[in-house]
Amino acid sequence: FNRRFDLAGMIPRLAYAALRTVPMPEKLLKIGL
């Protein structure tokens, strides 16, 4: 088991959860996408 793969899998999930939890303007969402 390698922690690097675990972190690589967790970071995108945390970022996705943060984006869904924090209300963001459509402009920022469009720039991000």
Confidence of residue 32 (pLDDT cuts 50, 70, 90): low
> Based on the structure, what is the number of domains in the chain?
1
- Which one-letter amino acid corresponds to residue 33? L
Q: Span 6-11, mean pLDDT?
A: 78
Which one-letter amino acid corresponds to residue 21?
A: T
Q: The domain containing residue 13 runs over which residues? A: 3-32
Distance CA 10, CA 26 (A): 25
Whole-structure pTM value: 0.38
* Burial profile 4-33: b = 16 or more Cβ within 10 angstroms, e = fewer: eeeeeeeeeeeeeeeeeeeeeeeeeeeeee
Instruction: Report the pLDDT value the prediction gives residue 8, as an integer from 0 to 100.
Output: 75
DSSP string, 1-12: --HHHHHHHHHH
Mean of pLDDT values over 2-7: 72
